[in-house]
């Protein structure tokens, strides 16, 4: 069994593991860096970290086309249910559940979560995934730096995917501190360059990660993968 992580641009991620495909925060239409189209992407699970339009994105359309199950917090679950989307699993922060693709825990995220129509989207989350082949992946999603990240790294992380864009989330300096707290084997930056306000030099950040931490940085172009 292999596990592959693919960066699809902005905060969109794809994890293929044990015959399952997990799509995370599918903001594809209107995303200038999207590596796939919403009408073409294949998946059997969709994780939604929070309600912002650049994260919930095309979740409903993709779920309806593919039959994928959406996994999100309780408040977004209610919002989807009111729109007739019923193939949804709700979890919340601190809770883990064994899904077909592995064990998924919802983590803290320091951010907002209003939905595109202004509805309350609960608290935003990140994801800690342990695949069935034992790979541990932390997707911070949209968040500022917080010290509890040290706990998420305690059992060892194969991969951490961290925002570096600044303005809405951690910037490069705080993302570097996050790498030091998490101590992952590999780290991928995300949530930068999509819009002028989050423009960053990811290669310069990767050089600092390589020089100052034990993690191996990988600056992936949208559509590029990391086999784990
Ligand atoms: Ni956001
Ligand atoms: Mn965002």
pLDDT in tens, 103-145: 999 999 999 999 999 999 999 999 999 999 999 999 999 999 9
Query: Where does the pLDDT of residue 67 fall: very low under 50, low under 70, confident under 90, or very high at 90 and above?
Result: very high
Instruction: Let me know: does 111 contact 124? Beta carbons within 8 Å.
Output: yes
- Burial group, residue 4, by CB count within 10 angstroms (0-12, 13-18, 19+): middle
Distance 76 CA to ligand 2 centre (A): 16
Instruction: Let me know: does 35 contact 58? Beta carbons within 8 Å.
Output: no
**pTM passes above 0.85:** yes
Distance 154 CA to ligand 2 centre (A): 26
Question: Nearest bound ligand to CA 50?
Answer: 1
Residue 1 confidence (pLDDT): 72
Query: Where does the pLDDT of residue 3 fall: very low under 50, low under 70, confident under 90, or very high at 90 and above?
Result: very high
Distance 120 CA to ligand 1 centre (A): 13
Distance 174 CA to ligand 1 centre (A): 17
Q: Cα–chain-centroid distance for residue 88?
A: 18
Distance 20 CA to ligand 2 centre (A): 25
Distance 128 CA to ligand 1 centre (A): 18
Distance 157 CA to ligand 1 centre (A): 24
Domains, the chain: 3-220 (3.60.15.10)
């Amino acid at each position: 069994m292999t596990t592959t992580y693919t960066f699809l641009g902005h905060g969109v991620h794809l994890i293929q593991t044990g015959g399952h495909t997990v799509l995370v925060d599918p903001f594809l239409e209107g995303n200038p860096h999207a590596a796939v189209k919403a009408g073409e992407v294949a998946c059997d699970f969709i994780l939604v970290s929070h309600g912002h339009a650049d994260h919930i994105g095309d979740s409903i359309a993709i779920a309806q086309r593919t039959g994928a199950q959406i996994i999100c917090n309780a408040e977004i679950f209610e919002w989807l249910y009111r729109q007739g989307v019923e193939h949804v699993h709700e979890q919340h922060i601190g809770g883990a559940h064994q899904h077909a693709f592995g064990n998924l825990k919802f983590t803290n995220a320091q951010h907002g979560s209003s939905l595109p129509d202004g509805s309350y989207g609960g608290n935003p989350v990140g994801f800690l995934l342990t695949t069935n082949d034992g790979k541990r992946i932390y997707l911070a999603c949209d968040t500022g730096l917080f010290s509890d990240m040290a706990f998420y790294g305690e059992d060892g992380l194969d991969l951490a995917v961290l925002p570096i864009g600044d303005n809405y989330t951690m910037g490069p300096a705080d993302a570097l501190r996050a790498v030091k707290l998490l101590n992952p084997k590999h780290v991928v930056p995300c949530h930068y360059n999509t819009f002028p306000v989050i423009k960053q030099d990811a290669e310069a950040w990767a050089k600092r990660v390589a020089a100052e931490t034990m993690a191996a940085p990988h600056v992936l172009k949208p559509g590029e993968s990391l086999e784990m």
